[in-house]
Amino acid sequence: MTKAPPRRAKIQDVAEAAGVAIKTVSRVLNNEPNVREETRQRVLAIVKKLNYHPSLSARSLAGRRSFLIGLIYENPSANYIVDVQHGAMARCREDRFQLLMHQVTGRGEEMERDVLGLVDQTHLDGLIVTAPLSESPDLMRALDRRSLPFVRVAPNDVPHQTPFVDMDDAGAAREMTEYLVGLGHRRIGFIVGHPDHFASGQRLAGYKAALAAHGIEYQDRYVRQGYFTFESGMDAAKELLTQADAPTAIFASNDDMAAGALMAAHELGINVPERLSVAGFDDTYIAKTVWPRLTTVHQPTYDLAYTATNLLLQMLQTGAAPQSMRLGYRLVCRASTAVVHK
């Protein structure tokens, strides 16, 4: 004789056991006011005893919200996106929301269709949009039309009332460049980030500002386009390093490209940091695993995502759009940079 599979308790079971109406149980579960403390305790006790968990589906259907939040991203480096995921997850967990990750495929129209498909199919309560998706005016408009609350993580210049969380990319890049200048470097190469990312332009602007501030002429030949990938960083660095009057330092717009630059240096037999300084941006895991360890800008990726999720949840609760936020960064000096060689 086998034990029957224990039917899942429902709200009615709890109500009956506690001798109250289901509505009262509902009130307790949702922390609504106007329930006597004694009643609340009694219900809570039964809930625990029966191991009762409200049905998400029923709740969504009746309450017109799904407790589901989407997190969409395009194609970032694994180390970066995992930090984002965990930041958002952590905040979701606090409020018993669930997080639905979605890697967006395609660009332009196709990307839009992909996102809207997700939004239409799963009735998300809100969305976290990471760069560069957050930089598509079309997408922003489409989301507005669906009147779906969302928060953007990462900087961008799309004028929009939606709150966002970002950091001072330009400032950070400027500071890093000045650090290199401070080490005596004058020929400083720069690898630009993916052109789709607004941050790429900001970082480049910071680099330029630092040069200008120190009376160093900006030269196109010290700047190369990259795409935030290891390979693109390696290729760009090879070009930078094989020209006459090659730079004595390379500042890449993210760590993956900086790691690529390191690889390029190794392959060209250039010692880092003795003959070449290399700096990155983001301070992801890779910065600590390459040799020499990367000097980089620490970006609070986890906190960025946590904060964005926090804003979103606030937004869902209050209905009003909260203030956007800017988080801090800091330079992390490791072994890949040094005083310029003679």
24 touches DNA (CB under 7 A): yes
262 binds a copy of itself (CB under 8 A): yes
Determine which residue in the list 101, 158, 205, 270 makes contact with a copy of itself, applying CB under 8 A: 101
Binding piece for DNA, criterion CB under 7 A, among 21-29, 180-188, 269-277, 286-294: 21-29
- Choose between 82 and 158: whose C-beta lies nearer to a copy of itself: 82
Select the residue interacting with DNA from 20, 72, 84, 183 (CB under 7 A).
Answer: 20
Q: Is 89 in the site for a copy of itself (CB under 8 A)?
A: yes
Q: Which of 12, 30, 98, 225 binds a copy of itself (CB under 8 A)?
A: 98
Report the helix count and the strand count for the chain, using DSSP H and E. Answer: 13, 12
User: Hunting for tokens 């995992």 — which residue is that?
Assistant: 82
- Binder among 16, 45, 49, 55 for DNA (CB under 7 A): 55
Regarding 62 and contact with DNA (CB under 7 A), the answer is yes
Alpha helices in 155-283 (DSSP H): 169-182, 198-213, 230-241, 255-268
Under rule CB under 7 A, residue 10 binds DNA: yes
Contact by Cβ (8 Å): 259, 288: no
Q: Which stretch binds DNA (CB under 7 A): 5-13, 114-122, 279-287, 315-323?
A: 5-13
Cα Rg of the chain, angstroms: 26
C-alpha 195, offset from chain centre:
18
DSSP 54-70: --HHHHHHHHT---EEE
The number of C-alpha atoms within 13 Å of 314 and in the hemisphere containing its C-beta is 15
Rounded CA gap, 246 and 192, in Å?
17
Answer for the pair 77, 289: CB distance below 8 angstroms, yes or no: no
The site map against a copy of itself for 220-259 (x = CB under 8 A) is ----------x-------------------------x--x
Minimum Å gap between C-beta 39 and DNA is 4
Q: Which of 16, 41, 49, 58 binds DNA (CB under 7 A)?
A: 58
CB contact at 8 A, 138 and 111: no
Does the protein bind a copy of itself through residue 55 (CB under 8 A)?
Answer: yes
Strand order in the sheet with 249-252: 223-225, 188-192, 249-252, 277-279
> How many of the chain's residues bind DNA (CB under 7 A)?
28
Which 264-323 residues touch a copy of itself, going by CB under 8 A?
266, 285-286, 288-292
* Contacts of 215 by beta carbon, 8 Å cutoff, 6+ apart: none
Q: ∠116-119-124 over CA atoms, to 5°?
A: 165
Say how far residue 133 (Cα) sits from the centre of its chain: 11
CB of 120 to DNA, least distance (A): 11
Q: Stretches 53-61, 69-77, 237-245, 295-303: which one binds DNA (CB under 7 A)?
A: 53-61
Q: How far is the CB of 163 from DNA (least distance, A)?
A: 24
Residues that bind DNA (CB under 7 A): 8, 10-12, 19-24, 26-27, 29-30, 33-36, 39, 52, 54-55, 58-59, 61-64
